[in-house]
Amino acid sequence: MSIIETARRLDALGFMPSKSGNVSTRIEGGFRITPSGLPYAALTESDLVEVAPDGSVLAGTRRPSSEWRLHAEIYAARPEAMAIVHTHSPRATALSCARRGLPPFHYMIALAGGDDIRCAAYATFGTAELALSAIPALAGRRACLLANHGVVALGTSLAAAETLAREVENLAGEYLDLLAARLDPVLLTAEEMAAVTAQFGGYGRLR
């Protein structure tokens, strides 16, 4: 699975429309990321940019995504992360605009690594402040919402990061549907979520 295939798939789903969001994979000495300002439908392998942790371009002729700092900080903080997907998927982004995360209303919340999916504090897109705000929201987790912005998901592979980003959108939609119906979600207890995590571990779902 390639960065371009992933970006185009998420674009087609409306999760990364045209030029929004970004995708990266870890490489030796840094990471490879989608470029800034280029529609995913037009991307070629030569458009991808290899970036060092300090933002200097190692290879490529285009500017890296404006969110390269977000990727750099996550890779630095999470050595197990091999890929990152950042989307603007509609339902999760809508929830992020209320600056609300996802509580344990469904057992699939555990796919992100904990009892909830947090919403990071707001910061302007493309800034170091945004990158740093995501780190505590991701502590013990593999995904978070970015306030008034979107979703970030990481994984030990590109497929894992994409799958998680898709699931966060699915969960956000279910949660918003419950709220719209004026139903009070019955939250799973810490013990119930621990049992889910143990069950997932047995099936390798969290790898």
Give me the active site residues, please: 67
Tokens describing residue 103: 């509580």
Amino acid in the structure at residue 72: A
Helix (H), strand (E), coil (C) string for 139-179: CCCCEEEECCCEEEEEECCHHHHHHHHHHHHHHHHHHHHHH
| 185 neighbors 159 (Cβ within 8 angstroms) | no
Of the candidates 157, 168, 128, the residue with the CA atom closest to the CA atom of residue 25: 157
Tokens of 16: 């990364």
**64 to 23, 74, 134, 174, 179: CA distances (angstroms):** 11, 16, 19, 34, 38
d(CA 132, CA 120): 9
Chain centroid to CA 200: how far? Answer: 20
Q: Give CB contacts under 8 A, 24+ apart, made by 134-138.
A: 134/70, 134/73, 134/74, 135/73, 135/74, 135/77, 138/74, 138/77, 138/78
